[in-house]
Structure 1
């Protein structure tokens, strides 16, 4: 099972900050990259349930990271 999540942020610096906040929580089955204003994370899991749980956690973490970078701008 694989999910690809792309989020767009205000500018490249902010996208890099969001990605930097997310990477420490990545497992071996996750890869996060930045391209301009876009953060892209690929998640691979053996099961649908595992993928669902990981995506759910990731989305919450991404929302928090995005909010925190907004308050710093």
Structure 2
């Protein structure tokens, strides 16, 4: 039986965050961007694994990656905004 999880992360610059995490995706992962309007959006990643332990490990790694990518994007935006 396949185990799946979908992680939805609301961020100010979803394209940047999605591009940052995609290189670490395995073949069992898919990352896309969803937008409701012109401003913020959501990075959506679906993960499939054959067992619960593998899914938990992949989720743990992914959450760290998306957290770092989000923080770097926020820092870059603040730096760009204050330097202009």
TM-score tier (shorter): over 0.9
Residue in structure 1 matched with residue 54 of structure 2 by the alignment = 50
1:66 aligns with 2:73: no
2:7 maps to 1:5: yes
**Unmatched runs of 5 consecutive residues or more in structure 2:** 36-40, 78-84
SS for the counterpart of 2:27 is coil
1:21 partner SS: helix
Give a deviation string over 1:4-48, Cα, whole Å, max 9, x none. Answer: 0000012xxx11000000000000000000012000000000000
- Report the TM-score when normalising by structure 2: 0.82
Q: Alignment RMSD, CA only?
A: 0.5
Q: Secondary structure of the residue that 2:33 maps to in structure 1?
A: strand
Aligned residues: 70
What secondary structure is seen at the aligned counterpart in 1 of 2:50?
Answer: coil
Distance 1:9 1:34 in 2: 10
Aligned residue in 2 for 1:20:
19
Q: Which runs of 4+ in 1 moved over 6 A?
A: none
Structure 1, unmatched stretches of 5+, are none
If the length of structure 1 is used for normalisation, what is the TM-score? 0.94
